[in-house]
Structure 1
Amino acid sequence: MKFEEFVSGSYKQQYQYQSFLPASINQVWSWDDPRINVLLEQATKSLGELNAFTLIVPDVDLFIHMHIIKEANTSSRIEGTRTEMDEAVLEEEAILPERRDDWREVQNYVRAMNTAIGELKTLPLSLRLLRHTHEILMGGVRGERKTPGEFRRSQNWIGGASLADAAFIPPHHADMAELLTDLEAFWHNDNVAVPQLVRCALSHYQFETIHPFPDGNGRIGRLLITLYLVSHGLLNKSSLYLSAHLEKHRGAYYDALTRVRESNDIGHWVRFFLQAVVETAESGKTTFQRILALRQELDAEVVKMGRRAVNAQQLILHLYGTPTITVNKAMEVLGIKYVPANSLIATLVDMGVLQEVTGFQRNRIFILRRYIDIFRDGN
């Protein structure tokens, strides 16, 4: 199927509304647009360079964990949560009661992503894996009544207060099984000679158009992008997440998806997606460069601490994965008593390495501010 000849689907009359029935995507794709070829080359190059960082950066899994927290926070924010990065890295008891629902949704996303990436080591990308990921994402939070881990058995819609004024009505649930089977087959069809980044773009569009879950489709669809890239070997680690780019260009993102359904312009969507990969991969490379620079700075600072330098380095290494600390936690991490742990943290505060964030005299929490800022400032 040529992009230029693609017909995105048709509207199917239901009882009092029309649902959109998308065309299948498990087929050979081609295009005449040279802009796609140029963007595909740029995206492949940028993605490869980002992937190289995950192979050479020491203790990279600690930094990947922070990437996942940022992605969870940003992807959830697109859906209306209001948790900031500083809050996302705290324990629940440190979160204000009125903000804990949002915080829990972000933590669910982190668990869902980590679990899905782990399962990819033994399972292929599949509908089964997405259902399990959705179950974790929606469990125990505001969407828990919407059948976590199960595809919808009723009609849903996007925008508006009801089907009568919806901006978009996905396919009827009776049509979903065939569409989802087609999508899953496309992920693994070795007889279809289509570049994996283009397949990933088409897969995200199709998933969001099917909208198979009662709730959480946006988050699962964005998570699907990273899972696809890891499962097909384009990423060694889960280091690329598009949510920050999609949030920044939210209007253009939704417009690009809508343009496919209304005008059959699948080429425009693929160009948008590839450009998002290019810009996000370049931003990711900058993030890794800033992490390496910060690590050199901190190593140079703590080496001046004499005999306490070893404990300081060990504590900072822990903070790269979990960038908040209490004195009690420092005691546990370092295996030392209260007085030396408290003294060590006090010295790191005086040096500007750590920052106390509660303002309390007791139950104080300290944060590796310069490290958090790298992820908060990145696009």
Structure 2
Amino acid sequence: MKIEHFKPGRWRQRLQYRSFEPAPVNHDWHWDDPQINVLLEAANRALGELNAFSLIVPDIDLFIEMHVVKEAQTSSRIEGTQTGIDEAVLPEEQIKPEKRDDWREVRSYIDAVNFAIAELRTLPLSNRLLRQTHAILLRGARGQHKQPGEFRSSQNWIGGSSLADAAFIPPHHEGLADYMGELEAFWHNPAIAVPHLIRIAISHYQFETIHPFLDGNGRIGRLLVPLYLVSHGVLA
């Protein structure tokens, strides 16, 4: 399928709202726009430079640890959490009581990243891994009562205060297993001749459109990108 001709899905009428049901992505992709090839070349060069750090940084473990802390702090800030990187590396008892909820969210993200990367040594990138990582992400944080480690069993929405005024309503929860199963198949389908960066861009879009968790979709979706790259040997 040409990327330029892709129809992302359709709206489906429910009882009192319409949910968006995304189109399948587990098929071959190609394109006519030559600018995509130019951007791919630049992005792959940047990835190669990033990967080279593992060869020249004297203490790669320290480098990765600080990168994970920075990523956790930045990703959590997107979700409205306010914890500085200097605070993220402190023990909890040194954090002001009014900031400890934010601190716990960042630390849970750090634990989730480290867990997921370690699990890739024995477990392929999969929905099982994402669910286990999600359970750690919400552990002791403000989303701990929103089905940590499980795909949602109710309808969620983005923006607005209810389904009535939502900016976007993801697919109904009854179809989540099929949608996420199809997405997982796309990650590992050897018959699809598509560059990894194109595949992960489509995967990130599809994951956020499905929005499979009640909370933490943004953080897990952003984490999906490096997990895919590591699992396929693009990043060491």
**Offset at residue 56 of structure 1 (A):** 2.3
How many Å separate the matches in 1 of 2:222 and 2:11?
A: 25
> 1:131 deviation in Å?
0.2
Identity of aligned residues (%): 69
1:50 aligns with 2:27: no
Q: What's the counterpart of residue 155 of structure 1? A: 155
Where 1:11 maps in the other structure, the secondary structure is: strand
Measure how far apart 1:5 and its partner are. 1.1
Correspondence 1:243-254 to 2 at 5 A: none
Q: Which has the higher helix share?
A: 1
Q: Map of 1:198-237 to 2, 5 A cutoff?
A: 198-236=198-236
Query: For structure 2, which runs of at least 5 residues remain unmatched after alignment?
Result: none
Matches within 5 A, 1:34-113: 34-113=34-113
Letter in 2 for 1:142: R
State whether residues 25 and 183 of structure 2, in contact with CA within 8 Å, keep that contact through their aligned partners in structure 1.
yes
Q: Aligned equivalents of 2:37 and 2:142: distance in 1?
A: 42
Larger radius of gyration: 1
Instruction: State how far apart, in whole Å, the 2-side matches of 1:220 and 1:199 are.
Output: 17
Does the alignment pair 1:196 with 2:202? no
SS of equivalent to 1:12? strand
Give structure 1 regions of 4+ aligned residues with deviation exceeding 3 angstroms: none
- Deviations 1:28-61 (Å, cap 9, x if unpaired)? 0001111110000010111011101112212111
2:20 match = 20
- Aligned residue pairs, count: 236
- For 1:61 and 1:171, how far apart are their aligned partners in 2? 40
Report the secondary structure of 2:200's partner residue.
helix
Alignment partners' CA distance in 2, 1:101 and 1:184: 33
Deviations 1:241-268 (A, max 9, x none): xxxxxxxxxxxxxxxxxxxxxxxxxxxx
CA shift at 1:140, angstroms? 1.4
1:169 matched to 2:169 = yes
The answer to whether 1:29 aligns with 2:48 is no
How far off is 1:66 after superposition? 0.3
Q: Is the Cα–Cα contact under 8 Å of residues 57 and 63 in structure 2 kept in the other structure?
A: no
Matches within 5 A, 1:293-332: none
Equivalents in 1 of 2:68, 2:4: separation in Å?
36
Equivalent residue of 2:44, what SS?
Answer: helix
CA apart distance, 1:106: 0.1
Distance 1:76 1:163 in 2: 25
Q: Which runs of 5+ in 1 are unaligned?
A: 237-379
Matched position secondary structure for 1:146: coil
Cα deviation for residue 184 of structure 1 reads 0.1
Matches of 1:49 and 1:111 in 2, distance apart?
26
Q: Cα distance, 1:176 vs. partner? A: 1.2
2:152 is the counterpart of 1:181: no
* Equivalent residue runs for 1:328-343 within 5 Å: none
CA distance in 1, matches of 2:50, 2:70: 17
Query: CA-atom RMSD, angstroms?
Result: 0.6
In structure 2, what is the Cα distance between the partners aligned to 1:137 and 1:84? 18
2:132 maps to: 132
Distance 1:50 1:114 in 2: 19
What SS does the aligned partner of 1:169 have?
coil
Q: Deviations over 1:91-139 (max 9, x none)?
A: 1011000000000000000000000000001110000000000000001
Counterpart Cα distance in 2 of 1:105 and 1:135:
12
CA–CA separation in structure 1 for the residues paired with 2:6 and 2:147 = 34
TM-score (norm 2): 0.99
